Amino acid sequence: MSNRNIKEEFVSLIEKHQGIIYKVSSMYCDKDECRKDLFQDILVQLWQSYSTFNQKSKFSTWMYRVALNTAIAQFRKDKKNTEDPVPEIPIHIENEETYKEKEDRRGIVQKAIGKLNKAEKAIIILYMDDYSYEEISEIAGITMSNVGVKINRIKTKLQKILKELEYGL
């Protein structure tokens, strides 16, 4: 395949799956400038790694893995960064609730997720995006059985955090 075709294929795939990059950038940065920088870093890493994509997995699965690894690596290098970002998480709430109640509930869930470590955040976000255990395993680089264990532990931890946040326990 020619260089031009490779570039066109890459751009097409990025345009189709750019939401993944936005989600990862938002999960790890809450400031606009930081998000844009991380977005660019992820794009560069995806392009540099594109030749290693072996098409044994879905492109979106590979892309998630590269994006998460890039985000985590960036924050390991930059120990000066003190922000503990909270990802935007779509929550399906009953229609009767007012906008304010929805925002309050969303804020509590985001705050709870914000208290998780970076690996836990990545796993729970993938789980909430309906990725299969197999896909999460591939993205996170852990076994499928370990995915199940981690998800159950994260759910338990989130329940405890949510109780603490809601009831001040």
CATH of the domain at 59: 1.10.1740.10
The whole-chain average pLDDT of the chain stands at: 81
pLDDT tens sequence across 91-149: 443 444 455 666 677 778 888 888 999 889 989 989 988 899 999 998 888 999 999 99
**Residue 26 amino acid letter:** S
Query: Whose structure tokens read 């590979």?
Result: 62
Full residue range of the structural domain in which residue 123 is found: 89-169
Q: What is the Cα–Cα distance from 54 to 48, expressed in whole angstroms?
A: 14
Residue where a domain terminates, one of 85, 105, 133: 85
Nearest to 25, CA basis, from 53, 58, 66, 57: 66
* pTM, to two decimals: 0.56
Angstrom distances, CA of residue 39 to CA of 19, 103, 135, 147: 11, 26, 22, 26
Are 2 and 48 contained in the same domain? yes
The confidence score (pLDDT) of residue 91 equals 44
Are 79 and 158 contained in the same domain? no
